């Protein structure tokens, strides 16, 4: 089974763990197409074509680099289709994106026509203009399998007209449980709370600070990240007299995150939904759980489905509920230890790269059956 994956997110090499593990599976021949140059904020990710870790790596030039949903391939896409002759094309771009529209226009040139697997991460019913609605309608009707990045994404796809039997829930990325693992020794003696992410209103760090202010006992907190709310949050620390207990560390390299998480007893993701955003996944939650930190999150978007019963959930903007969860974790080490163990087990079972590759392979097998059933005349 030959599969070509197309993904701007995999321009970052750290996101290619799924490809590496899929390429190891018997019966799969994987290949990957990414933008040669992808702008991600102030960073520029440059990829040279060649051999990935067990799969061919194609790099194409794109127009509008960095515009998720708005970029198209100037070169590389048609060439990859011709060279790889895939049975399946798996594109990780929104169904309304220009890249998907471009792919749909190229697929009829392939003989036999490949099976199409689409991925979506959009969990809000955002307004689309006419062209985007047209692209999405065509994509949803053409796709043989739709991968929804979460339960809330599936709900949106069904509302947009996708057929339930065609939608499978699977996040875009998992992790390496051997990279994100609990510390060899004990965690710090002082109960340590952490946050990793952008310092913006919707991430709710102000809520976490107010909840920490209510805690009784010895504790400290570390905030990793930066953003426009940082000055306001640091002023809040001074007003509450917490500057010596909560550290703002700024951004750290992603490769330093596993070590940081090993220092935490709990990680908090206090996201709040706003008009055009709610939490889509919160990858740091599974990183923390894999490292043995207890995940505590609000009920924004996908968070409850990610944490499951192996962590703690509180209503959005409920300071008292969050403070109550943190106090219980501080006061009851055995309870904290049980959730730590269960959280690690959940991540290895559901989100480890090996389990992730197995689930994706099953989706491809499902796609091939659908292709045989729905093959256009002359393509069977």
Domains defined along the chain, listed by start? 2-174+352-374 (3.40.50.2000), 191-350 (3.40.50.2000)
* pLDDT for residue 110: 94
Contact yes or no for 123/348 (Cβ under 8 A): no
Q: Is the pLDDT of residue 129 over 70?
A: yes
Determine the average pLDDT of the residues in 31-60.
90
Phi and psi at residue 171, in whole multiples of 5°?
A: -60, 165
Q: Which of 27, 92, 30 is nearest to 58 (CA)?
A: 30
The SS3 of residue 285 is helix
pTM: 0.90
Determine the average pLDDT of the residues in 354-371.
90
Contact yes or no for 322/343 (Cβ under 8 A): no
Strands (E), 214-371: 219-224, 246-250, 266-269, 294-298, 312-314
Determine the average pLDDT of the residues in 180-205.
94
Residue carrying the six token digits 């995150």:
257
Determine the average pLDDT of the residues in 10-28.
92
CA pair distance 53, 47, nearest whole angstrom: 14
Determine the average pLDDT of the residues in 171-175.
93
What digits encode the pLDDT tens for the residues 261-287?
A: 999 999 999 999 998 899 999 999 999
CA pair distance 146, 94, nearest whole angstrom: 11
Q: By CB neighbour count within 10 A (0-12 exposed, 13-18 middle, 19+ buried), where does 108 fall?
A: exposed
CA 243 to chain centre: 32
The SS3 of residue 58 is strand
What digits encode the pLDDT tens for the residues 211-221?
A: 999 999 999 99
Q: Is the pLDDT of residue 108 over 60?
A: yes
CA pair distance 78, 106, nearest whole angstrom: 7
Mean pLDDT over each residue of the chain, to the nearest integer: 93
- Name the residue with higher pLDDT: 15 or 2: 2
CA pair distance 199, 231, nearest whole angstrom: 10
**DSSP characters for 255-291?**
GGHHHHHTT-SEEEE----BTTB-----HHHHHHHHT
Q: For 231, left (φ over 0), alpha (ψ -120 to 50), or beta?
A: alpha
pLDDT band at 376 (very low <50, low <70, confident <90, very high): very low
Between β-strands 72-73 and 62-63, what pairing exists: parallel, antiparallel or unpaired? antiparallel
191: which residues sit within 8 A by CB, 6+ positions away?
Answer: 217, 218, 219, 220, 265, 266, 329, 330
Q: Is the pLDDT of residue 67 over 90?
A: yes
Q: Which of 233, 271, 272 is nearest to 249 (CA)?
A: 233
DSSP letter at 203? G
């Amino acid at each position: 089974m030959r599969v070509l994956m197309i993904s701007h997110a995999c321009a970052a090499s750290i996101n290619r763990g799924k490809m590496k593990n899929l390429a190891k599976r018997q019966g799969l021949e994987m290949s990957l197409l990414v933008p040669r140059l992808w702008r991600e904020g102030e960073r520029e990710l440059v990829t040279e074509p060649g051999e990935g870790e067990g799969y061919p790596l194609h790099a194409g030039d794109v127009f509008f680099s960095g515009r998720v949903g708005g970029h198209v391939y100037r070169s590389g896409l048609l060439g990859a289709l011709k060279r790889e002759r895939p049975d399946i094309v798996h594109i990780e771009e929104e169904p309304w994106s220009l890249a998907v529209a471009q792919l749909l226009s190229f697929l009829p040139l392939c003989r036999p026509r490949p099976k199409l697997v689409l991925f979506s991460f959009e969990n809000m019913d955002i307004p689309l203009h006419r062209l985007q609605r047209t692209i999405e309608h065509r994509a949803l009707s053409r796709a043989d399998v739709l991968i929804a990045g979460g339960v809330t994404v599936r709900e949106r796809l069904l509302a947009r007209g996708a057929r339930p039997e065609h939608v499978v829930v699977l996040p875009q990325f998992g992790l390496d449980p051997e990279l994100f693992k609990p510390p060899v020794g004990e965690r710090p003696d002082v109960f340590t709370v952490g946050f990793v992410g952008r310092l913006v209103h919707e991430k709710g760090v102000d809520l976490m600070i107010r909840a920490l202010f209510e805690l009784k006992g010895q504790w400290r907190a570390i905030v990793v990240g930066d953003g426009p709310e940082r000055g306001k949050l640091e002023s809040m620390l001074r007003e509450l007299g917490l500057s010596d207990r909560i550290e703002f560390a700024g951004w750290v390299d992603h490769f330093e995150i596993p070590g940081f998480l090993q220092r935490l007893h709990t990680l908090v993701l206090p996201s709040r939904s706003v008009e055009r955003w709610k939490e889509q996944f919160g990858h740091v939650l599974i990183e923390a759980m894999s490292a043995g930190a207890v995940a505590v999150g609000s009920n924004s978007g996908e968070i409850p489905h990610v944490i499951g019963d192996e962590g703690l959930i509180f209503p959005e903007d409920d300071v008292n509920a969050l403070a109550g969860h943190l106090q219980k974790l501080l006061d009851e080490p055995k309870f904290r230890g049980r959730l730590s163990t269960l959280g690690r087990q959940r991540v290895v079972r559901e989100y480890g790269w090996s389990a992730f590759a197995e689930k994706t392979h099953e989706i491809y097998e499902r796609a091939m059956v659908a292709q045989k059933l729905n093959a256009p005349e002359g393509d069977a």
